[in-house]
Each structure stands twice: as structure tokens, then as C-alpha cells.
Structure 1
Amino acid sequence: MIGIGLVIYPGAQQAAVLGLTDLFGVANRIVVSHQKERVPALRITHWRQDDSNRPPNCVFDSCPDEPPEALSTLILPPSLSEPIGVDDAASLTAWLRNRHAHGIALGSVCAGAFVLAATGLMAGRRMTTHWSHAELLQERFPEVSVDADQLIIDDGDVITAGGLMAWTDLGLKLVDRFLGPTVMFETARILLVDPPGREQRYYSVFSPRLTHGDAAVLKVQHWLQATQAKDVALATLAAQAGLEERTFLRRFQKATGMTTTEYAQRLRVGKARELLQFGNASVERVAWEVGYSDPGAFRKVFTRIVGLSPSEYRRRFSAGQGAVK
């Protein structure tokens, strides 16, 4: 049997722990139905940390009558609470580092990424978390490469998933790894969930930095928001800020982390997503409404930022009926 452990740290979402247990249970039943010996392929254990000064201990075992076996993977589920602080997880992260050093793969979902990053094992490596946590994760762990566009990043000995419900994607990814694609697709079919392959940027919204402290740049940000970034000429923006053009460009990028062009594109695409989701105007009309005279250029920018074409986005997320495709 392949051992998968779910770590119940302070604030961990119980629904995800139980959901993953059930997902792996479904995969087990599929495997058993194709075997003569009725032995589950996956052994699921829960590890709870009752004392912040001590490592977790096993509080649940799906196969309690079987001899103990080594774990293959430990998963840090999401949390509905604020991401756990480094100082609050010292003994837990030490335990995780030790387990990893003995060949156990580690996984995290959503805010579980903060515990994983606190181990120090992600320095110089890519990981994902919920898009709303991405900036905080990057601030706390600048040595980590945070890629919140991705819903799941499988890096072999470490696998991270972004959204709060992305435990389904991580669970299916592990079923695929350990039991093969046939069992994974059958598990997804029974649970009526999409197989892995989605991207988090399909769902994320643009959240501009507004707490950087540069009043001149903030004034331009508010003006761009109010005007829906219709006029992004450098001379206009610099005049709004009351700065020389080169000084404005340097300060804008430092404050927002983006060029003015990138910033305006994200504002425009954010408005376009809203129009595509809740309206029925043609893609060409939407392009015009958000400031693009060339629909082809709009489609390229939209697809690069969202990961779907405007038409694909509408088909997937339209809130109404009869939308123009």
C-alpha cells in the first residue's frame, strides 16, 4: 500500500481533510473492483498537531489492522483562517523537513503553502497558493518563486495547489501518479470534478497594490480605475502624477510591480471578463468597450493574461443564456 498522510495543523480546513480522504477512498474502490485480492492501494492517515511544541501524531488510519508502513506523501490542507506564522509552526516545519529528508514528498493546498514555505525547502523553487495570498507569501518568503497563475505545480518531491478547493486537483494528481491515468479519470468521473489541467488565472481577479505609500502613483491608479484605462499615453499619466515622464515610469513600476502598459492591460481585461460573463455583446464589441480598436490584439492580450480566449471564457463562465459566442 502507498501511504498518504494529511496534516491537521492549527486552522486546517477539516472539509478538505475529509474530502481528500473520501477522494482517495473512491480511488481505492476503483482499484479493488479490478483486482482479485481486495486490498486497498492507498493507505490514508491523519496527523494532528495537538501541541505546538511537539510534532504531529497519527490520529486516523484507514487500514488500522495492517502493519505500519512508510509514508510516500504528506499533504498540508488549506485553511479558512489567516495563514499560519513562521513562529507558530517551528516544530511542525522541523518535522516536515525531517520527513522530506527521508524521501517523503510534500504537498500543500492554498494557505498550506505558508507552512510548506516555512520549512525552507522551497528556497529558489516555484510554488503556488491562492491568488489572494500570493503577495503575502512572496513578502514573507522572498526566496520563493510564487506563481499564482498556476492552479497546481508538480515539482516531483513537492506539489502545491492554489485555490481553496484545489485539494481535488492535488488529490487527482496523486491518484494519477500512484495509480495511473485510468483510475484518476474514473475517480474524477465518479466525483463529477474536472481532471487536473485548469489554471488558477481563469478565476483570479486583478488586485492592484494600493498600499505602497507613493501618493503620486496612487493618484494615477485611481484615475486609471475611474476612466477604465482608456487613455494610457505616457504624457497623460505623467501629467496626472505631476512628475517628469522617466521619474513617473520608474516610480510606477517600483510601486505597482508592473509597467503602465501591463497595469492598463490587466484593468481592461478585468472589465472585459465582467462584460463577457454578464453580457451578451460580441467579442468585437467587448474589445471596443474596453479600449481596443483591434479585436485581434484584444484576443491576444486576453488569452495571455487569462489563459483562455474571450470566447472560451464566455462559454465556461457566462452567467446568462443566449450569449453571443
Structure 2
Amino acid sequence: MRNVVLFALENAFISTISGPLEIFSSTGLMWNYLAGEPLDLQFQVTVASLHGEPIKTRTGLIVQPDTSIFDIEDADLILVTSCGEDIEAALTHYQSALPWLRQQHSNGAILGSICSGLSLIAATGLLDGKSATTHWGMVDIFRKRFPAIDIKADQLFVDEGDIITSGGGFAGNDLALYLVQMFCGKEQSKQCANALLLDTNRKSQNQFSGILHHRMHQDDRVQEIQSWLDLHYQDEINLDKLAEKYSMSPRNFKRRFKLASGATPLAYLQKLRIEVAKKLLESSDVQINNIAETVGYLDDSHFRKIFKRYTALTPSDYRNKNS
């Protein structure tokens, strides 16, 4: 049996505690019960706070943990919950937990975070030079605070082997199911998801954030370029000429744009066009080839390929699901 610790932080979204708790605690039990099979508990789950104190969640609900993190002797997996938007306050409050996290990692525990819980793992230095993710709305904050980490804004979770991070809110459920699969196999994960009526097909934060997270930065010149693209996305755009228009070399343009927004100019333009296409698919009966042309793609097959890359669905499937 694997030992899972949910490190519950003050001001957490309750879902980042309760979701993984239900998933790990149900693995091998709920599906087996419904299918008339022998119960086979896979995880022992402990909810811990810094010193065993009650945790006040974001909604005001009080959670009474089982123990203090410092009383944990053996953990296979430690998941750090969200802690709200003020990560500096969280880091100040939880400074004493950082050596504990480093030690647990050194002892062989896999570390994971949900949403802004990334702040604690990032502060240990264990992710320097590696990739991670968090809620799409906090990407710019984390990129500035932890420049040594490559923050992947689009991904629902990022697996670095011994450290696995996820997006915000209910992305903790996706992370928990992924971890069930890692420890117990794909069939167990699927059974758990089916028993709890959870969707297992989410892979990206794109469908929730659109392109908003690419605009959450302080580079005025890049903001100006993005505003121009917002107005001209349907045109045939030469990015080298666009760089010249804003008095930059193509190389500097690409570097500065990606540094500010987290996406290359081409990727941003593609996402912008796909966002407009999604709205047309949701709200109209316009033929897909006409939508492709409306958003700047003369080649219908190329549009379909790009659309599926960013949504994991064909335009037709997207329309059927969202109209």
C-alpha cells in the first residue's frame, strides 16, 4: 500500500484537498464494490498541516488535518494543495516546511503540487532548470518569482519524474488520476474515474484560459503587437515584416515576444485564430471551411490540423460538444 500525504495549506481551495482525497481513498474500493469484486485498498491517505492545526479554506470551511507534516515518517507521495494568490505570504508562513520537503524528496518521496501550491516546491530549488505548471492565471507571477523554472502555461500537469505539478482548481483531480495510473496502472485509474464520474480526457488548460494568460505581462511593446494581431489575425501576416514594423530584428522579436507572453509570435497568432474559430463554432452554423477562411486559413486541412493541435478535437467534434 502506498502512503499519500496531502499537505493542506491555509486558504486552499477545498477541491484541492477533497478531490485528491476522494480519488486516492476510492481507488480499489468504489469500483470494486459496484462491480461486486473484492475490495482492494491501494492508498493510505493522510491529510497534514504544518503543525497539525486546523486549516481555514478559501470558502471559510475549516478542515481538521490528521497530523503535522513533521510527524510523517514514511511517504511515497506528497501533494501540496493550493494556498491562494498571495504566494509571498504563503512562503513566509511555510518557510519551515521547505527543509522538510527537501528531506522527504531525498528520502524518495514523489512531490506534487496543485495550483499555487507550486510556490512551496519551487522555493525548495528542486525545480530549478526544470518545467512545471500552475493555474493559468498565475503564470506571470510564477515566471517572475521563479525565473529558473520553465512554467508551462498550457499544460494541465507536468511530469518531471520525481516532481509532478498541475494547474489550478479541479486540475488536482486530473493529477490524482494520473498518479493512480502511475502507481496502479491505467485500468485502475479508469475504473476509479468511472466510479466517481470523472472526465479523463482533459490534457490542456487551453480550453479554459484561451489566450488570456499570454496577455498577462508588463511588456508594453509586446502588448502593442498583440493588440495589432487582435485586429489583423484574419490577414496574411508575415512575422518578419511585423518585427520590422516594430523596429526589431526577427530574432529579437521572437525572443522578446516569447519571454513576455510565454508563446512564440506564431503560436500566439495560431491560438488567437483558433479562439475566434471556437466562438464561431459555438454560436453559428457557418461551414467549417468558411470559418477557416474567416480566421485567416485558406487551406482548410491546415486549419483542421492546427485546430486539433490546440483543442484535441476536430472542428466538427468541438461544435457538437459546445454548440
Q: TM-score interval w.r.t. the shorter chain?
A: 0.7 to 0.9
CA shift, 1:70, in A, is: 2.0
Find the counterpart in structure 2 of residue 271 from structure 1: 276
Q: Does 1:73 align with 2:84?
A: no
Q: Distance in 1 between matches of 2:75 and 2:31?
A: 19
List structure 1 runs of 4+ shifted beyond 6 angstroms.
none
Q: Does 1:15 align with 2:15?
A: yes
Q: Encode CA deviations 1:77-109: one digit per residue, 9 max, x unaligned.
A: 234444455444321222111111111111111
Q: Distance in 1 between matches of 2:138 and 2:280?
A: 26
Q: Distance in 1 between matches of 2:279 and 2:314?
A: 14
TM-score normalised by structure 1 residue count: 0.79
Q: Distance in 1 between matches of 2:298 and 2:44?
A: 57
Change (3 A) 1:278 1:118: farther
The partner residue of 2:65 within 59, 63, 68 is 59
Find the counterpart in structure 2 of residue 96 from structure 1: 101
**What runs of 5+ residues in structure 2 fail to find an aligned partner?**
54-63
State how 1:136-215 maps to structure 2 within 5 Å. 136-195=141-200, 198-207=203-212, 208-209=214-215, 211-215=217-221
- Identify which range, 276-285 or 195-204, moves more after superposition: 195-204
| Counterpart code for 2:150 | S
- Identify which range, 175-184 or 94-103, moves more after superposition: 175-184
Q: Does 1:288 align with 2:289?
A: no
CA shift, 1:41, in A, is: 3.2
Asked if structure 2 preserves the Cα contact closer than 8 Å seen for 1:32 and 1:40, the reply is: no
Q: Distance in 2 between matches of 1:199 and 1:91?
A: 33
- SS in structure 2 opposite 1:71? coil
TM-score normalised by structure 2 residue count: 0.79
Q: Does 1:115 align with 2:120?
A: yes
| Counterpart code for 1:71 | A
- Identify which range, 268-277 or 221-230, moves more after superposition: 221-230
Number of aligned residue pairs: give it: 300
| Counterpart code for 2:294 | E
Q: Does 1:24 align with 2:24?
A: yes
Find the counterpart in structure 1 of residue 309 from structure 2: 304
CA shift, 1:113, in A, is: 1.6
- SS in structure 1 opposite 2:237? coil
CA shift, 1:149, in A, is: 2.5
How well do the aligned residues superpose, as a CA RMSD in angstroms?
Answer: 3.1
**What runs of 5+ residues in structure 1 fail to find an aligned partner?**
53-57, 62-67, 321-325
Which protein shows a greater Rg? 1
Asked if structure 2 preserves the Cα contact closer than 8 Å seen for 1:172 and 1:196, the reply is: no
Q: Distance in 1 between matches of 2:240 and 2:28?
A: 63
Find the counterpart in structure 1 of residue 44 from structure 2: 43
Q: Encode CA deviations 1:117-147: one digit per residue, 9 max, x unaligned.
A: 1111111222222222223222222222222
Q: Percent identity over the alignment?
A: 30
Change (3 A) 1:229 1:83: farther
